[in-house]
Structure 1
């Protein structure tokens, strides 16, 4: 889970850094998404029927999750930049909003897993969680290796 959050933050900051180059960012994002699809399909050993049902649900979940994180993170970053100017009451409101966003993400994930249970056996759902973590680790390692070589 820690790696998943780290990957989400990394992808968010990567998107902010490359915002001035939207075509290049979309290309990289699509590349990463393609690699992730191939990796997860391989790790879960999805049948064609499972794959046909799984990927639309998974992609919708990923899109909603990313949209929620992007919208919330933008709001938080704007407020964090002026955090020294926040009153105690404003800081409390911001923390409550952050907790609410975390709850919303948790509910989204619960709904996603509930839907997956109608598509995949529980063993494959657990494998999905593991595969997502392993993919994130590999992606982060490649990013670090690339950064070190520069």
Structure 2
């Protein structure tokens, strides 16, 4: 029952999506923190050690997404008729960015091994996936409801 209530509150909290982008990001981040904390059943000691490590991971991956991947995707969209040599360079950039993301995930799991159990690390992955799935569902619902109003 507790999980059901938490999920309902989680979904209801996204009802104010129409506000500004930065506020939205902060709300999503706060909801993600609450969701992961609940799903992992972190003790206060674990949470104190876990969140700085996890936040560092989030910062690293966000930087790769916002800088490296954004530039790569923009080049892909803006130059569909690129030459083979341009494509080779872009492919190397893509591989490097994907490698940074992969290494950040490996570092996260390695760093967390000394903080939480392997079982909780697996539950973290499941919680992240579930959170992202629910977030995407909610965004889809909002887009659909906006489309019906127009």
TM range (shorter): 0.7 to 0.9
Q: Which residue in the other structure is 2:11 paired with?
A: none
Q: Which residue in the other structure is 1:47 paired with?
A: 43
- Which structure has the larger Rg? 2
Question: 4+ runs of 1 displaced by more than 6 Å?
Answer: none
Q: Which residue in the other structure is 1:17 paired with?
A: none
Q: Which residue in the other structure is 1:127 paired with?
A: 123
TM-score normalised to structure 2 length = 0.81
Q: C-alpha distance in 2, partners of 1:81/1:144?
A: 24
Establish whether residue 63 from structure 1 lines up as the match of residue 55 from structure 2.
no
The structure with higher relative contact order (CA 8 Å, sep 6+) is 1
Segments of 5+ residues of structure 2 without an aligned counterpart are: 1-18
TM-score normalised to structure 1 length = 0.81
Contact kept in structure 1, 2:61 and 2:101, CA below 8 Å: yes
RMSD: 1.3
Segments of 5+ residues of structure 1 without an aligned counterpart are: 1-22
